[in-house]
Amino acid sequence: MVAKLPEEEHPKEAFGWAARDQSGVLSPFKFSRRATGEKDVSFKVLYCGMCHSDLHMVKNEWGNSIYPLVPGHEIVGVVTEVGSKVAKFKVGDKVGVGCMVGSCHSCDNCTNNLENYCPEMILTYNAKYYDGTITYGGYSDTMVADEHFIVRIPDNMPLDATAPLLCAGITVYSPLKYYGLDKPGLHVGVVGLGGLGHMAVKFAKAMGAKVTVISTSPNKKQEAIERLGADSFLVSRDQDQMKVATGTMDGIIDTVSAIHPLLPLLALLKSHGKLILVGAPEKPLELPAFALLMGRKVVGGSCIGGMKETQEMIDFAAKHGIKSDVEVISMDYVNTAMERMLKADVRYRFVIDIGNTIQCSS
């Protein structure tokens, strides 16, 4: 059997930007989307956030990239068609798709609304869908997904600044909830002030925590406090500051994806404090056991969130006016944005204005 071309696999024409090889350079790409199945929701993509994992994926830095690769898993838009058995959505609704578009629906994780931990979870792009075709992400004009994996965006939320909540937002919201760091009056540290970190500050503040940003760069202090609403700021390289803060925190959300020492962070925790990793350094981190034993401390991890919790996070954000700080760009700026993202030169998330700037020049 000869494999079909991406534009002939499915009945619906689609257009996006794809990486063709590990240079990671994105360029216009014609492909196709499946017809709207009975439980599917199809939508016109209006905005798509750029996640750090997109950068890794286009360059095959995790070794599993399938080309052509259309990235994007912070996708929002307006519903254009729903299948006959779709119950929750109708044409015209504002919706989003995050990091996943499928799961088994029967394992322990799925039955507990934790599709994100399902062994058969299907990622929004660069994964094999049930029909054997490769999934394509949101750097494209249209999207289709099973309604189970569609999130409703409340009308009062701006779509551009909401897109990053679908990955960056849920990635920090879920551990704050699961590890019990969502109680008013707790002291929560946030390590790293990027796409994830700035969302962690906003969610933790809205949950009633006292929030301290921990960063290597002192020049982020003013911004952390004045722009994002953090209560205090610690320069992790400043021994004196770190010493004063010893044993003061109930939990820390660590968003750093570079190799870094955990010992100074564990020292900041009270007894029973929790250090939660949501970044993914390429090499193992050193785990200082003694610092865990003294004070019964915990190091944990967390990866996005289930669909129920993702909707809950969006609704919480709507209620508390939480948005991502974004720089909206046009589609043809995407390669420059990738380079800037690599240098952390963005406050705090690039969002592509797909609806107004993606064009198919046929």
**Interacting residues toward Zn ion by CB under 5 A:** 51, 53, 103-104, 107, 110, 118, 167
Query: What are the beta bridge partners of residue 78?
Result: 44, 94
Name the minimum Å distance from CB 138 to Zn ion: 11
Closest CA to 297 of 261, 268, 259, 271: 271
Task: Report the alpha-carbon distance of residue 47 to residue 161 in Å, rounded.
Answer: 9
- Looking at the Cβ atoms of 125 and 233, the one nearer to Zn ion is 125
Shortest distance, position 133 Cβ to Zn ion, whole Å: 21
CB of 186 to Zn ion, least distance (A): 26
Q: What single-letter DSSP state applies at residue 241? A: H
Judged by beta carbon, residue 173 or residue 233, the one nearer Zn ion is: 173
Whether the CB-CB separation of 146 and 40 falls below 8 Å is answered with yes
Pick the closer one to Zn ion by CB: 78 or 303: 303
CB of 72 to Zn ion, least distance (A): 9
* Cβ-based nearer residue to Zn ion, 75 or 291: 75
Measured from the CB atom, the residue of 117 and 270 that comes closer to Zn ion is 117
d(Cα 88, Cα 65) in Å, to the nearest integer? 33
Please answer whether residues 92 and 287 qualify as being in contact, where contact means their C-beta atoms are separated by less than 8 angstroms.
no
> Is 140:112 a contact under the CB 8 Å cutoff?
no
Least spacing, CB of residue 164 vs Zn ion, in Å:
9
Which residues, other chains included, contact 343 with Cβ-Cβ below 8 Å and sequence gap of 6+? none
The nearer residue to Zn ion, 161 or 262, going by C-beta atoms, is 161
| Paired sense of beta strands 349-353 and 326-329, if any | parallel
Dihedrals phi, psi of 82, to nearest 5 degrees: -125, 150
Residue among 19 and 167 whose Cβ is closer to Zn ion: 167
Q: Which residue has the tokens 């990738």?
A: 338
CB of 313 to Zn ion, least distance (A): 14
The first and second tokens of residue 145, run together, are: 């997904």
Structure tokens at 318: 């709507």
Cβ 56 to Zn ion, closest distance in Å? Answer: 10
Strand partners, 232: 212
Quickly tell me which residue has 């003013």 as its tokens: 222
How far apart are CB 103 and Zn ion at their closest, in Å? 5
Distance separating alpha carbons of residues 175 and 250, to the nearest angstrom: 13
Nearest CB to Zn ion, comparing residues 294 and 342:
342
